[in-house]
Structure 1
């Protein structure tokens, strides 16, 4: 007789699915330490390292070119890691000076890079997993071993892993992967963000995933964060009865009593803009412009940027498109605006701060945005990331005006901006809350660390207090306040945000119909009551559970 076992983690992508487990394969074993035979052509052996790294880089770049949104960004960043001369040069040195085999040289060189990143801590430490992923791909290329990646059992399955490399998550097939379960990660990790974008139910930060074996039957509930091994037949049947829901937004977002709530899309490139438009998005609440900057050693020219922005704007004639200026730094280092040796890049030169030393990069971008807007029917707004002070808000708005961009806003991602929102909005025309970073900074919790996953959620009452403070500042100045972080895509959290005073929600296009469906069942007053429920909770789990209990529509929709 089988025994039902329930593992609990953090639900990061809603939905319930039942299926059989397929585990990520074991990592590549360390290559032999046996050196190359005497008489080996060492320069030729070292050249094999360059060739393998180049092939891995080119493969990832090609994958990024066919991916969309966050997936494209993740693949581009991983490709940049494969091209990093630090790893290749150290591996070449080991081949030439110690006669190490190319594969062993890459393995040991990667260990040096990883140790250095871990010693630096913070965002640098997060990149250690990317280095290991690139290492395994280069070693597999050198040895002819299968490339690391997601298994393919031939039928739909539940993917279980200790953790997923960003490049693997970016390439998940939602038709094959029923659900995702990982021991690592957090609510705003790349794994969580990409799972939501793909519509794959996911639970992360699950202790004990080693207990799940290939072929085990499991039920994954990404809404409440449960993984049930050997579920009973009734539970499996309920998970299989997924209510039919619209796949696109068919009407403007609003509460049951008609309070408008603009439902917008987060977009990362022209292809993503067309997907968002097809999903019925009312506009774009966040255009990430990094797609034209990642993987480069110099900034793109004005003409190239104009062309790219025009393609996005063309998908939304007559509708709002909020363009975020370059958000480099932290997990998106760019050699032409960020330093490689920052001790704590999450608290370093990122976002708008990169313009302090490199003003021309921002000015060129504003010129390009203005030229693209002038030839478009879209309603173009511009906003700056990582604004922390009133002076920064004022200077950015003035700078935009000089370039002919009359509607300029700020991202609220650090507590100082939330607490002083009224003063910032005396200058900025709108605010957009980036809940991912706001949560990270408010809770002092690295969003990639599984051990901190329960802190790294926008359900934390302290984070909701900061959202409320931002909205109060908006009301004081008569300015709109939106949310463009991952919190906007949570159908249970959306009414709470509206109750706090948020006027627009921008999210992955897949989430639009679900958020609209939930909002259409609650009045504005009910949203305010739910906000009070969440703010009155002592912690995130309590807040989420109380709000979900008050929203039976979530169960009706399979959310």
Structure 2
């Protein structure tokens, strides 16, 4: 298990307050530089997470709060940082999801600064010199982002949720992860286990057959670029990418297109909006990897857990329900206008087939206005993310205004079930297997079918090989996922017919619980 930085003592400062404040500033700068350097070596979601965490270390508010405690309360530098960060984390937790998710990141930054001040071992993952299963109470995204799949073969945590940032990062790295496992911390160092990320199980004292079966599942799947059911129904399997490096990896993995190009990498960690020229260069670097292939570009999804100083409010009591995604264009239409200009220029310079979609759409008016904005820039294929129950229920009206939709199942699940995706206490609720969530998927696909409009899935649900045939049976036309999941999803779809997908969909919609739905599909597909 990762070592924890011990809480500093409450002993009072005996030396110079000025020197202690300087030490805090230097330690924070050291941590920021380390995390920024890691972000530079990472790609995709990992780079985004590290960039945001580095920005937290650089936040002058934390340093100023610690400095005040040094001067007014005569606390040591490490104790002042500990208390100041603890106060910020408590405030974030009181805001609820998704800002409560940032509380863990603040405590991670706190531990790193305290370690720099005291010479303690900083937070991180142990290196026993051989491949191992990482077991932890919880794991900070900044540590998860830098894991080596050749060394960390699986992750088991006692806390978190299946759509938490840690779990998403693990899937992007191709590391099986089981989260919110009761008794996880009872696993002993050196104990042999089999971790099944698909089933969400950990087998202790596995038999030889258990181990061999796991090895076969790991090596069996391959991907030739096509998704197809056993009877020849084509299902578009494409990739989620977040920057040029991730696009290159997706193309190398055989992905024939991109179902979700997250453009936040251009904006995160910056104090001002990137220029149109900067954006064009960045977007072209992604589009160039998919000549004559479709790339679905999502406009800036700022707000909630991705605040931007130049765009989003400094404080919202409930940011998950606040100004985020397309809603930022109400106060800052110029930012969206410039981004659409940059996307159009990049599309004209490359041969990729560019579609554009807006995040966090809830009304027909929003969809209509976004389609008009895209058309004004010559972007003919405009679409919307369906992340709220309102959008799913109104899909038939939304898709009368736009060309396509993509279901963001992480947020759709969170909003439908009123469950913070990072809280272990509600992890059972935070799964797209919930019958209520799947019913909304069905309604959204039905709305798309009325207009002949494709409806895809680009949330984490698309990467679940067991859920993939269910989604196809519900009417989903494409699945966009981390490239590492493409082979497993393709293999599962190849083993079922279109009619069997439809039957699986009917089966899960009749189930009364998420566990019953998953068990029913698992029994049909894996026995």
Same fold (TM > 0.5):
yes
State the secondary structure of the residue aligned to 1:205. coil
For residue 58 of structure 1, the aligned residue among 20, 33, 42 is: 33
2:102 and 2:330 mapped to 1: Cα distance? 25
Instruction: Map residues 25-40 of structure 1 onto 2, 5 A cutoff.
Output: 25=3, 27-37=4-14, 40=15
For residue 122 of structure 2, the aligned residue among 119, 142, 147 is: 147
Q: Which residue of 1 aligns with 2:513?
A: 539
State the secondary structure of the residue aligned to 2:220. coil
State the secondary structure of the residue aligned to 1:45. helix
Q: Which residue of 2 aligns with 1:312?
A: 286
For residue 479 of structure 1, the aligned residue among 431, 439, 453 is: 453
Aligned-pair CA distance for 1:224: 1.9
1:415 and 1:178 mapped to 2: Cα distance? 36
1:240 and 1:117 mapped to 2: Cα distance? 42
Aligned-pair CA distance for 1:242: 4.3
Aligned-pair CA distance for 1:154: 0.9
Aligned-pair CA distance for 1:356: 0.7
1:224 and 1:517 mapped to 2: Cα distance? 16
Confirm or deny: 8 A CA contact 2:172 2:484 kept in the other structure: yes
Residue 276 of structure 1 pairs with residue 237 of structure 2: no
Confirm or deny: 8 A CA contact 2:362 2:391 kept in the other structure: yes
For residue 228 of structure 2, the aligned residue among 244, 254, 260 is: 254
**TM-score, normalised to structure 2's length?**
0.98
Aligned-pair CA distance for 1:136: 0.3
State the secondary structure of the residue aligned to 2:98. helix
1:402-424 CA distances to partner (integer Å, 9 max, x unpaired)? 11111100000001111110110
- The RMSD of aligned alpha carbons is 1.3
1:528 and 1:171 mapped to 2: Cα distance? 40
Aligned-pair CA distance for 1:472: 0.6
**More displaced stretch, 254-263 vs 401-410:** 254-263
Q: Which residue of 2 aligns with 1:224?
A: 199
Q: Which residue of 2 aligns with 1:99?
A: 74
Aligned-pair CA distance for 1:241: 4.3
2:196 and 2:400 mapped to 1: Cα distance? 44
Instruction: Map residues 130-141 of structure 1 onto 2, 5 A cutoff.
Output: 130-141=105-116
2:475 and 2:259 mapped to 1: Cα distance? 17
**TM-score, normalised to structure 1's length?**
0.92
2:268 and 2:58 mapped to 1: Cα distance? 13
1:217 and 1:551 mapped to 2: Cα distance? 27
1:222-273 CA distances to partner (integer Å, 9 max, x unpaired)? 22222233333443343344463355x3142121222121111000000000
Q: Which residue of 1 aligns with 2:265?
A: 291
2:477 and 2:299 mapped to 1: Cα distance? 22
Residue 530 of structure 1 pairs with residue 482 of structure 2: no
1:220 and 1:278 mapped to 2: Cα distance? 27
2:275 and 2:513 mapped to 1: Cα distance? 47
Q: Which residue of 2 aligns with 1:173?
A: 148
Residue 370 of structure 1 pairs with residue 344 of structure 2: yes
1:198 and 1:385 mapped to 2: Cα distance? 24
For residue 70 of structure 1, the aligned residue among 45, 61, 69 is: 45
2:319 and 2:513 mapped to 1: Cα distance? 29
Does the C-alpha gap of structure 1 residues 275 and 426 become closer, same or farther in structure 2, counting only changes over 3 Å? same
Instruction: Map residues 447-462 of structure 1 onto 2, 5 A cutoff.
Output: 447-462=421-436
2:412 and 2:216 mapped to 1: Cα distance? 37
User: Larger RCO: Structure 1 or Structure 2 (Cα < 8 Å, ≥ 6 residues apart)?
Assistant: 1
Residue 549 of structure 1 pairs with residue 523 of structure 2: yes
Aligned-pair CA distance for 1:111: 1.6
Instruction: Map residues 180-195 of structure 1 onto 2, 5 A cutoff.
Output: 180-195=155-170
1:166 and 1:189 mapped to 2: Cα distance? 9
**Structure 2 unaligned spans of 5+:** none
Residue 518 of structure 1 pairs with residue 496 of structure 2: no
Residue 497 of structure 1 pairs with residue 471 of structure 2: yes
For residue 304 of structure 2, the aligned residue among 330, 335, 353 is: 330
Confirm or deny: 8 A CA contact 2:225 2:255 kept in the other structure: no
1:238 and 1:77 mapped to 2: Cα distance? 39
**Structure 1 unaligned spans of 5+:** 1-22
1:23-47 CA distances to partner (integer Å, 9 max, x unpaired)? 222x21111222222xx33223211
Instruction: Give the number of aligned pairs.
Output: 527
State the secondary structure of the residue aligned to 2:385. strand
State the secondary structure of the residue aligned to 1:254. coil
For residue 406 of structure 2, the aligned residue among 432, 438, 441 is: 432
Does the C-alpha gap of structure 1 residues 399 and 252 become closer, same or farther in structure 2, counting only changes over 3 Å? same
For residue 361 of structure 1, the aligned residue among 318, 335, 354 is: 335
Confirm or deny: 8 A CA contact 2:295 2:352 kept in the other structure: yes
Q: Which residue of 1 aligns with 2:92?
A: 117
Q: Which residue of 2 aligns with 1:239?
A: 214
Q: Which residue of 1 aligns with 2:64?
A: 89
1:473-506 CA distances to partner (integer Å, 9 max, x unpaired)? 1111111111100001111111111111111110
Aligned-pair CA distance for 1:160: 0.5
State the secondary structure of the residue aligned to 2:422. coil
Q: Which residue of 2 aligns with 1:205?
A: 180
